[in-house]
Amino acid sequence: MYPDIILRLPEWLAGELQSPAQRFSTLEERMAFVIRLAERNIQEGTGGPFGAAVFTQETGELIAPGVNIVVASHCSLAHAEAVAIMLAQQICGTFDLSADFLPPLELVTSAQPCIQCYGNIWWSGLQRLIVGASKADVEALTGFQEGPVPENWVETLEHRPPLPPIRVIQNVLREEACAVLRAYAENGGLVYNPDVM
C-alpha cells in the first residue's frame, strides 16, 4: 500500500479564523491578513515566510488560508498559494474555483508566485491575483528561488484565451511583505531550495 497523501495544516491556523465568514473589505486588509499568516508561520516554526488566502473578490469573505508547509509536510509542492488553493477546492467541493455556483474568487499572496504556483493558479479557476512582494524582492531578501517565471507573466495571466483572464494587482503592502522576508533572513531562517541548503 502506498500512503495517502495528507497535508496537515498548522494547528495555530484555526485560531486566525475568527468566524467562518470573516470579511476583509479592502485589498490592504486582505494582504495584511496573509502577511500576518507569514509572520506567524515563522514565529511558530511551522514553515517558510509565506502566506496566502482565497477570498471572494467582491465581498472579501475569507474562503481558505494557506501557509508554506514544505519542510514539515515533506512536500516541495506545499507552498502557501498551493495550500490555500487546495483547501479552497476541498471546501468548495470542486477542482474548479470558477464553477457556476461560486462567486468570483481571488488569491491574495504575500509574495509573487513561483513557477510552480504560477502553474497552479493557471489551472485553479481563480479570477484575480493580488501580490505583495515581487520575485526580485523574494530572491534578493531571502535567497529563495522563484524559478523561471515568464518575464511577461502578468500579461500572460491576463490574456489567455480560450480560458478567462486572471487579473493581477501587484505591490499591495509591498513594504510590509518585504519586512517579513527580511526578518526571516536576518534571523537565519531556513532557505530550503533543493541542492543549496
Build a one-symbol-per-residue string for 102-141: x at contacts with Zn ion by CB under 5 A, - elsewhere: ------------x-xx------------------------
* 34 contacts Zn ion (rule: CB under 5 A): no
**Cβ nearer to Zn ion, comparing 62 with 117:** 117
Going by C-alpha positions, the residue among 64, 34, 79 that lies closest to residue 172 is 34
* 32 contacts Zn ion (rule: CB under 5 A): no
Contact 66, 87 (CB under 8 A): yes
* 79 contacts Zn ion (rule: CB under 5 A): yes
**Cβ nearer to Zn ion, comparing 60 with 141:** 141
Distance CA 9, CA 73 (A): 9
**Cβ nearer to Zn ion, comparing 105 with 114:** 114
* 157 contacts Zn ion (rule: CB under 5 A): no
How far CA 36 is from CA of 23, 29, 129, in Å, comes to 16, 11, 18
